[in-house]
Amino acid sequence: MEKLVAFSSFLLLLQYYVISSSAMTQSNISTDQLALLSLKSQIISDPFHFLDESWSRAMSVCHWVGVTCGSRHQRVRILNLSNMDLMGIIPGELGNLTFLVSLDLGSNNFHGNLPQEMTHLHRLKFLDLSFNSFSGEVPSWFVFLHQLQVLNLGNNSFTGSIPSLFSNMSTLETLNMNFNSIEGQIPKVIGSLINLRVLKLRGNKLKGSIPLSLSNASRLETLDLSYNSLHGNIPEGIGNLHNMNSLVIQFNQLMGSIPSTIFNISRIEFIAFTGNSLSGSLPNGLCNGIPILKGLYLSYNKLYRHMPTSLSNCSQLQILSYRKMSLMDQYKVKLED
Ligand SMILES: *[C@@H]1O[C@H](CO)[C@@H](O)[C@H](O)[C@H]1NC(C)=O
Ligand SMILES: *[C@@H]1O[C@H](CO)[C@@H](O)[C@H](O)[C@H]1NC(C)=O
Ligand SMILES: *[C@@H]1O[C@H](CO)[C@@H](O)[C@H](O)[C@H]1NC(C)=O
Ligand SMILES: *[C@@H]1O[C@H](CO)[C@@H](O)[C@H](O)[C@H]1NC(C)=O
Ligand SMILES: *[C@@H]1O[C@H](CO)[C@@H](O)[C@H](O)[C@H]1NC(C)=O
Ligand SMILES: *[C@@H]1O[C@H](CO)[C@@H](O)[C@H](O)[C@H]1NC(C)=O
Ligand SMILES: *[C@@H]1O[C@H](CO)[C@@H](O)[C@H](O)[C@H]1NC(C)=O
Ligand SMILES: *[C@@H]1O[C@H](CO)[C@@H](O)[C@H](O)[C@H]1NC(C)=O
């Protein structure tokens, strides 16, 4: 029943999307100006007077602080208001900036829900909303942004689960949802994001196991699933991710042994599994397949502790943390959490 309701509201949204985008064909730079003035009107604090002074009708929109227009259409292509200490909400009118390719609102104090009208930003490739106080469920309508390559929602207060529709965002290269309150499982189909290079879900409330399909995301370079409640084994298929550079899954409840295939990913520089319940021992040939390893973090597991004979072959190794979990340590780890 719940699923049915969710699906029909999704269809409504779809209808809305089709109707309103056809009504938007007669837009020009004045549309962009109105959209930006509407955003300005929702900003209740601008302590450094970034917008106060420059965002006025007396000046051409293309010269406003943080605004860059395209040379061909003379429409707003880039909006970068990052790190300005702005406080406010995002009005639906922002969706009228239909020529926008890059939107960076990172490191401000924006709050509230993201307006659905943002689905009209169909040229958007880069969206950074990190380090704000946005809330509400992670919108599934991001899937309508058919060109999106970077989606950064890190350090906000998003809730709900990762929409399984996200697996349709085939152009996505970076998905960062670090430090939110996202629950549920990582969608089983996440591995169909074949262009994904960076997946960061650190510091949420994710449960379940690591999806086997991840082994299909063959471009993956950075994976960080630390500080969640993930169970089960590390899938063997992770070892097929030949482009992996940084594999970080600390402080979860992973069990079983570390798949030996991981020690054959020749590009890997960081392997961090601290604070799980991994068991077994490390292969003696550990360093022979991972020549550029710089950091190996394995403390607080149930691993059989011995030093692989090949360690001298990890010539770039800077940090090896391999501490045993004592009762006192367990206590400390809890405190650090
Ligand atoms: C934009 O379009 C509106 C009507 O659609 C028109 O009145 C206005 O003059 C146009 N502005 C520019 C700058 O072309
Ligand atoms: C936005 O501007 C900041 C500061 O100038 C810069 O560090 C950041 O990379 C810019 N964002 C984008 C998407 O270019
Ligand atoms: C901008 O968006 C609003 C609400 O999303 C809409 O009602 C309005 O007609 C749009 N304005 C222009 C100038 O396109
Ligand atoms: C991001 O969130 C985490 C967890 O709440 C916090 O430890 C960290 O300091 C935050 N980062 C910034 C720059 O606010
Ligand atoms: C998602 O992808 C599936 C399979 O390719 C397709 O059938 C479905 O229509 C897509 N949904 C949306 C909302 O794009
Ligand atoms: C990986 O992709 C192939 C081809 O699309 C598919 O048949 C297979 O089931 C996928 N594997 C996993 C583990 O999802
Ligand atoms: C690692 O790679 C080598 C050479 O490609 C291969 O012989 C070996 O079987 C691989 N080991 C594992 C555990 O996959
Ligand atoms: C270190 O690597 C070399 C070259 O691959 C290999 O011949 C040697 O056996 C390795 N040493 C150890 C201790 O595994």
13-40 pLDDT, tens digit each: 555 454 444 445 578 999 999 999 999 9
pLDDT mean values, one per 10 residues, the chain (337 residues): 46 49 69 97 96 91 97 95 98 98 98 98 98 98 97 98 96 98 96 97 98 96 98 95 98 96 96 96 89 94 84 89 63 41
Pocket probe mutation, ligand 7, options 262, 264, 290, max atoms within 8 Å of Cβ? 264
Report the distance separating Cα 26 and Cα 98, nearest Å. 11
User: What kind of architecture, by CATH, is found in domain 231-336?
Assistant: Alpha-Beta Horseshoe (3.80)
Report the distance separating Cα 311 and Cα 296, nearest Å. 11
Provide the pLDDT for residue 10.
54
Which ligand has its closest atom nearest to the C-alpha of 92? Answer: 3
Q: What's the chain's Rg over C-alpha atoms?
A: 23
- 165: nearest Cα among 9, 337, 26, 330: 9
Provide the pLDDT for residue 27.
87
> For every residue of 81-101, which 3-state class applies, written as one string?
CCCCCCEECCCHHHHHCCCCC
Q: Which residue owns the Cα nearest ligand 7 atom 14?
A: 261
Report the distance separating Cα 59 and Cα 76, nearest Å. 14
Q: Which residue owns the Cα nearest ligand 6 atom 2?
A: 216
Task: Say if CB 146 and CB 171 are below 8 A apart.
Answer: yes
Provide the pLDDT for residue 22.
45
Q: Which amino acid is located at 173 in the chain?
A: E
Q: Which residue owns the Cα nearest ligand 4 atom 7?
A: 179
Report the distance separating Cα 91 and Cα 173, nearest Å. 27
Angular region, 110: left φ>0, alpha ψ -120 to 50, beta rest: beta
Which ligand has its closest atom nearest to the C-alpha of 30? Answer: 1
Task: Kindly give the number of the ligand 1 atom that is closest to the alpha carbon of 26.
Answer: 5
Pocket probe mutation, ligand 3, options 93, 94, 99, max atoms within 8 Å of Cβ? 93
Provide the pLDDT for residue 14.
53
Q: Which residue owns the Cα nearest ligand 3 atom 11?
A: 31
Pocket probe mutation, ligand 8, options 286, 288, 292, 316, max atoms within 8 Å of Cβ? 288
205 phi/psi in degrees, rounded to 5: -120, 40
For the stretch 220-277, pLDDT in tens is 999 999 999 999 999 999 999 999 999 999 999 999 999 999 999 999 999 999 999 9
Q: Which residue owns the Cα nearest ligand 3 atom 12?
A: 31
Work out the number of other CB atoms within 10 angstroms of the CB of residue 270. Answer: 17
Provide the pLDDT for residue 13.
53
Return the domain boundaries, the chain: 231-336
Provide the pLDDT for residue 25.
57
Tokens coding 70: 């395209």
Is residue 31 within 6 Å of ligand 3 at its C-beta?
yes
Provide the pLDDT for residue 326.
53
Task: Kindly give the number of the ligand 3 atom that is closest to the alpha carbon of 34.
Answer: 13
Tokens coding 324: 């045993």
Tokens coding 106: 């990172």
Angle at 18 between CA 15 and CA 20, to 5 degrees: 100
Provide the pLDDT for residue 19.
46
Report the distance separating Cα 141 and Cα 118, nearest Å. 9
Provide the pLDDT for residue 312.
85
